[in-house]
Structure 1
Amino acid sequence: MAVTAQEGTYLKPMELFETKDLVTVCAPMVRYSKLAFRSLVRKYGCDLCFTPMIISDCFIQSIRARHSDFTTSQDDRPLIVQFAASKGEDWAKAAQIVAPYCDGVDLNCGCPQRWAMAEGYGACLLHHPHLLADMVAQVRRSLPTHFTVSVKIRIFQDVRKTVELARQVEAAGASFLSVHGRTQDQRGSGPVSLATISQIKDALSIPVVANGDIRSLEDATRVKDCTGVDGVMSAQGLLENPAMFAGHPTTPLECVRDWVSTSLSLGIPFPTFHHHLIYMMDKSQSRADRRYFNGLGSTSGVLSYLSEKYMLEF
């Protein structure tokens, strides 16, 4: 399933929060924040990476699911494995399985999709704060103290209700909290409430990570200045520019080359390989170039295009 990293060769999550003014984080993204992409963003200033969300009960029941959903390497650290769970015992069992291969586990309390809500996952847990707190406490008790247990939430329209939820999560033993500054109904659009994130930060003693509309290093700095958070988490912004935390305004060609090299070495399936490049190159291509490039159907075709159009050698 994975390999363990050598102790002492990297900063663990809480060490990052203690030593860095602003921790940069790659968000959990379905299909996208897998090993190859995590390896890429780590080369360009990303301090901490999350896996895609993994369904805890499937993970503990199926060896096949474990091998399919969770792949890592010795250099893939520090790493947080995010789970969807509706029961503390499921999350705890899944956490114990991955503990030798990562640095912390996270509970998704923000996914607004109907299937997740119907199963008691994601944003559903926001409406059951006592259950959520019990789950955090149960998992915290089941793991070593140096191993982080975190939660990723969305906000309510009622700021006081959001702050109270955050306090309950902290009191239950959470190591840090990630906050997507939108409500469940907003999904991925609409304004991000930096004011709410700021009030959460002021109310807690544990580190707080801000998520939502962070698409550049300048955005990260602005959010830090506005809220005082300890870290910033990006999803769409990193897909479009994996080098953004290194200060690049758009994806540099060296990053494209690095993605191709990583993909070829790991044997990434063509659709995933291509989709990432589509995101990375979108802003640097004309409409005609985008139409042609997005329609390519093979790795060889993509490599030929990149070689002829951008003089990239592989």
Structure 2
Amino acid sequence: MTSLSDDLQNLTITEDLQLHEPSSKTKHTISPRNPEHNPLYILKNVRKTQNRPAFVAGPMVRYSKLPFRELVRNYNTDIVYTPMILAREFVRNDIARSSDFTTNDKDRCVIVQVGSNNVEDLLKFVEMIHPYVDGIGLNCGCPIKEQVREGIGAALMSEPDLVASMVKAVKEKYGNTVCIETKIRIHPNLDETIAFVKKVEASGVDFITVHGRTKNTRSSQPANWDAIKLIKETVSVPVVANGDCFSLEDAYSIAEHTGVDGVMSARGILSNPALFAGYKKTPWAAVEFFWDLATSYGLPFRIIQHHLSEMLDKVIPRKSLKEMNETTCLIDMIDWFDTHFILKRRGDKGFATATEPSWKINREEAAHI
């Protein structure tokens, strides 16, 4: 694993991302990405060869970092997003680069999502990061008030000319060497959304992801699949549908209803990383695999705890889940798992193969702890 800031300090990265000592003659180099990892190739090829939509894990604040991205790829996920990165911070701050983005040679196909509201910052961001990712996703849909006040995320849905100018600037500079997507929400008046996507398509965007809610629609309200269908019928570029995908059956239903090229899940895949592999709930194998990845690559304790809390919500009793969430450090949480379960490590026979947890105490007893 390597952070981008390491390479920006004149370190050379080879195909397997091994770091070499810098020298005065060292030049910034990196092997080109495999074209089969290009999101456009995947969106078109999966439908053609497997007769299904591409399966996409959406961007999640704090939670779609490298260990989780690798986890979901083991369960039939084709394209995975990073959390949104603020372009203005990334291009100006080495600490932001180190903390916001890490990758390795398994991190493919990966799209980095960016929050930006001007051409200058976006171009600087793309210049820095594009060799390390398979696509750039411009966030035009995040409804968080702080982001909207900054003029990014859903605020851009009111700025179609600005969005078009940012996309056009990237495509004019990089052409087909950079795949760029816009992730949008719908407007209360769908005529505005149609005008928006037509303008963005004309600017050269490679594909569009549509969340079927407005920026003010609560997540408890159903996503508008008819609106996504209308957008798919309006543009010629591939479209990915986002909203209310909590199972493999949902993914197929959304694709059938809308005709889209891909289906994205965020909340659903956070709670069940094996969703696209057809599991109804998180298999125990995914829990063991996540433990291995999170401790090998490194994640803050509270993020690991939240991931496991989401993954185990339908797997272990509520009282046990509450007890796990009350642990206050990584060592205590590991001890808690080892007390209650047979938690296999990499190298153990049967590591990351079980569907159900193996309790060291009776499951019924665990419910009363």
TM-score > 0.5, shorter chain as reference: yes
TM-score, normalised to structure 1, is 0.96
For the 8 Å contact 1:6–1:74, the answer to whether it is kept is no
Say whether the 8 Å CA contact 1:10–1:77 is kept in structure 2.
no
- Is 1:199 the counterpart of 2:230? The answer is yes
For 2:118 and 2:77, locate their aligned partners in 1 and report how far apart those are by CA, in whole Å. 31
Partner of 2:39: 13
Q: Deviations over 1:223-270 (max 9, x none)?
A: 001000000111111110001111111000000000011112112221
What's the offset of the Cα at 1:188? 3.0
In 2, Cα distance between the equivalents of 1:50 and 1:29? 8
2:155 matches 1:129: no
- Of 70, 87, 100, the match for 2:101: 70
Asked if the contact 2:44/2:261 (under 8 Å) is kept, the reply is no
* Farther off after superposition, 281-290 or 36-45: 281-290
Cross-structure match for 1:99 = 130
Matched, 1:81 2:112: yes
Query: What is residue 79 of structure 2 aligned with on the other side?
Result: 48
Q: Is the 8 A contact 2:116 2:152 kept in 1?
A: yes
Q: Is the contact made by 2:273 and 2:282 (CA closer than 8 Å) also made in structure 1?
A: yes
- Indicate conservation of the 8 Å contact 1:89/1:138, yes or no: no
Q: Which moved more, 1:102-111 or 1:137-146?
A: 137-146
2:223 aligned counterpart, secondary structure:
coil
Q: Which one-letter code corresponds to 1:11 in the other structure? A: H
Q: Secondary structure at the match of 1:218?
A: helix
CA distance in 2, matches of 1:130, 1:45: 37
Deviation at 1:75, TM superposition (A): 0.9
| Aligned residues: CA RMSD | 1.5
Give the C-alpha shift of residue 7 in structure 1: 4.1
- Seen in structure 2, the aligned counterparts of structure 1 residues 212 and 295 have a Cα distance that, compared at 3 Å, is same
SS in 1 for 2:102: coil
Secondary structure at 2:227's aligned position in 1?
Answer: helix
Unaligned runs of 5+ in 2: 5-16, 18-29, 48-52, 346-369
Output aligned runs, 1:1-314, within 5 Å. 1-2=3-4, 3=17, 7-8=33-34, 10-21=36-47, 22-314=53-345
Percentage of matched positions with identical amino acids: 40
Which residue identity is paired with 2:268?
Answer: G
**TM superposition score normalised by structure 2:** 0.82
Q: Supply the distance in 2 between the matched residues of 1:6 and 1:293 (Cα, whole angstroms).
A: 43
Distance 2:33 2:176 in 1: 16
Contact 2:32 2:131 in 1 (8 A): no
Higher relative contact order (CA 8 A, sep 6+): 1
How much does 1:310 deviate?
A: 3.2
Deviation of residue 90 (structure 1)? Answer: 0.9
Alpha-carbon contact 1:216-1:244 (below 8 Å) kept: yes
1:267-304 CA-to-partner distances (Å, cap 9, x unmatched) read 22211111100000011222211211111223333333
What do the CA deviations read for 1:124-151 (whole angstroms, capped 9, x no partner)? Answer: 1111111111111112112241320110
In the alignment, the residues of structure 1 paired with residue 205 and residue 332 of structure 2 have an alpha-carbon distance, to the nearest angstrom, of 47
The 3 A distance-change label for structure 1 pair 295 and 126 is same
Are the aligned partners of 1:155 and 1:162 in contact in 2 as well (CA < 8 Å)?
A: yes
**How many Å separate the matches in 1 of 2:209 and 2:57?**
12
Specify whether residues 7 and 105 from structure 1 end up closer, same or farther in structure 2 by C-alpha distance, changes over 3 A only: closer
Q: Aligned partners of 2:175, 2:127: CA distance in 1, in Å?
A: 10
